[in-house]
Structure 1
Amino acid sequence: MGDFDQDVLAPLAAACEAAAGDGEVAKAVMDVSEVGFADSASLNELLRLPELTGALGVFPVADRVDAARAR
């Protein structure tokens, strides 16, 4: 079991950006089943994944809950 904290942010961001920029990568899977703790910075990085990978159309983002519900 490990932690998902500041120590892994830079390597995670680099790996995600590299995968998103590689035209041969069709899918990336992040297994977090052994993560015992995730700080807020790590959770924010996970929330950036749709933006980094160009998947915002699949995972739309809204500014307000009511706007999200209206979609």
Structure 2
Amino acid sequence: MTLSLSPLKRRKVEVDFTGGDLTSDAGLVLFREVDKKLGLSRQLDKVLDDPRCTGRVLHPQIDLLRQRL
């Protein structure tokens, strides 16, 4: 069974459950898809206050949240 996910940097992403070599970060790809569909990190971003000085912010809070998750 093969499952096609959203492309990542113009690369086709497929999940194949037939076995073979394993990777320790495959769960991250699945989590990204779940977050994309449910909008969990976006909802979290809306309820958390960002105390940083907006004039000095280089990275949006949503990006930092997704990185930490």
Query: Which has the larger helix fraction?
Result: 1
More strand by percentage: 2
Could you tell me the TM-score, scaled by structure 1's length?
0.27
The structure whose RCO (Cα within 8 Å, separation 6+) is larger is: 1
